[in-house]
Amino acid sequence: MLSWLSAFSQNATISGRFDQPDVKRKLCLSRPIHGTQFPEVKETDTIPVDKGIFTTTLIVGQSEIMYLTSYINDSIEFKQPIFLKTGYAIKIDCKTKNGMFQLAVTGKGAQDNQPWGLNDNINFNDYPKDTLPDRIVADLQRQSNKNLDSFHRYVNTYKPSADFVKNWNVKIQYTPIRIYYIYSKQRKYDVRKAYYRNIKKWDDAFDQMLINAPLMNEAALTSSAYRLFLKMFLIFNKAQFWEEKEADSARFIKNWYGDVRDTGTRSFLKDDLNIPNQKIIERTFTGKVKEYMYCQLFKMALESGIVTNIGSIYADFYKQYPYSTYKIIYDKPIAEVLESLKHPINDKMIFESGNIKTWTEVLTLFRGKTVLLDMWGTWCGPCREEIKNNGKAIKNYFKDKGLDYLYIANQDEANVNAWKSLITYFNMEGHHILATKDLTKDIGDNIKLSFYPTYVIIHRDGTFESAIAGMSSETEMKILIAQIENALR
């Protein structure tokens, strides 16, 4: 499938050499833009180094900021910002002189890639008990001022391209507000009472930052810094939906749904993700920024598997943006989702009785079988991701080998429709239990549940063992498969 980058992009290259070819290094290239595209790809890639020589060819958009980092024994040797655009071919000569590491950059695009750096790291642990925004705001301002000074010196010295100036300006512009926004939204969980007591000060600080870094900025859409800020804005505003509902349900329904209380409440409970995101987008954004935010909505829905109302939302998007270039990206996956939603629950999706109350009853139900248990929930992103990415693969591996599958959904008693929808969407053939709070607690106490998803292998004799690995990586999959194979013997 095409990504936002590859649909409209060409190549650029990075090559170079180290003057100490015998030193073992790990060279990594981090591309933050990858976290904003669909399908999301690895943000960090490893560049092979052979006898001190390295080269890589990349697909890039019009322009992109990335980071090249060299490691020796897990310690950072250097971290260099890289700015690439179509046709750039930079060469990096890495030398050690008098114990100091030096980089010399030549080639097409060299004026945009001379050694320099910005400090955009803020450690939230430095503000563990802050109930007011003053300290972090002051630190972010000082950091931004230093970065601007460094940036201006670079521009005056190397005369970089206009694209370089534009992209780095946007990054410097939006990095402080993104960091502040994430920190401030986390504060309401860390120091809840004090946060809400001082909420006006937190909001005022954010509003002041918006003067320099406005929420609506079409010219900044090519920047990963701006895109990441928009993504965080949508995620945290969606979370605020629940807070508004809990605080004053009637006012919330009137404000967002504009209809009688019972109808609006039912609409929200049927879809507390996609329609709320659409309402936030429609109320907050316009033009090309709104077009991009719709694509973030589609990206999050497709990656999470929570696709309720995605057909009607995509139709609304199409009416507003019939000639959108993003249609190249989303037409096919949205069509595939809509087709998959037509699939009914089949006879291999077995729903067990809702009267199961204890872990002992679960073990008794499956006595005589070897079972892989997945403790999951529709609300759990990693659960959905592992089912989507690896559920089919593990079933193909153990086909006709005597392994049964049990999915116990937790904290989902109010999400029956979403539960059944995901079962068909991910084709989760196997046994299914919708756990009550008491059943979840009893299972958790017995298997020492501490996170989701958690996997357990149930043996034929009714004993069980916790899986020592999950499905989040190829390495973990190999470990889990070996453990299951041993249980089947």
Contact 48, 54 (CB under 8 A): yes
Residue at 76: amino acid letter: I
* pTM of the model as a whole: 0.81
| Tens of each residue's pLDDT in the chain, 489 residues | 344 444 445 789 999 999 999 999 999 999 888 777 777 667 788 999 999 999 999 988 778 999 999 999 989 998 999 999 999 999 999 998 777 788 999 999 999 999 987 887 889 999 998 999 999 999 999 999 999 999 999 999 999 999 999 999 999 999 999 999 999 999 988 998 999 999 999 999 999 999 999 999 999 998 889 999 999 999 998 888 878 888 888 888 888 888 666 666 677 777 888 999 999 999 999 999 999 999 999 998 888 888 889 999 999 999 999 999 999 999 999 999 998 888 888 999 999 988 899 999 999 999 999 999 999 998 888 898 899 888 999 999 999 999 999 999 999 988 888 898 889 888 999 999 999 999 999 999 999 999 999 999 999 999 999 998 888 788 889 999 999 999 999
Q: Strand locations in 324-369, DSSP E?
A: 349-351
**pLDDT computed for residue 307 by the predictor:** 87
**pLDDT computed for residue 259 by the predictor:** 67
Interacting residues of 249 by C-beta distance below 8 A, sequence separation 6+: 261, 265
**pLDDT computed for residue 264 by the predictor:** 65
**pLDDT computed for residue 310 by the predictor:** 94
Interacting residues of 30 by C-beta distance below 8 A, sequence separation 6+: 43, 44, 66, 67, 68, 69
CB atoms within 10 A of CB 456: 21
* Of residues 340, 407, 361, the one with CA closest to residue 380: 407
Distance CA 38, CA 227 (A): 13
How many Å is the Cα radius of gyration of the chain? 26
Distance CA 73, CA 71 (A): 6
**pLDDT computed for residue 263 by the predictor:** 67
Distance CA 178, CA 232 (A): 8
**pLDDT computed for residue 101 by the predictor:** 81
Distance CA 183, CA 204 (A): 15
Interacting residues of 336 by C-beta distance below 8 A, sequence separation 6+: none
**pLDDT computed for residue 2 by the predictor:** 41
Q: Is it true that the peptide bond before 21 is cis, omega within 30 degrees of 0?
A: no
Which long-range contacts does 468-471 make (Cβ < 8 Å, 24+ apart)? 470/386, 471/386, 471/389, 471/390, 471/391, 471/394
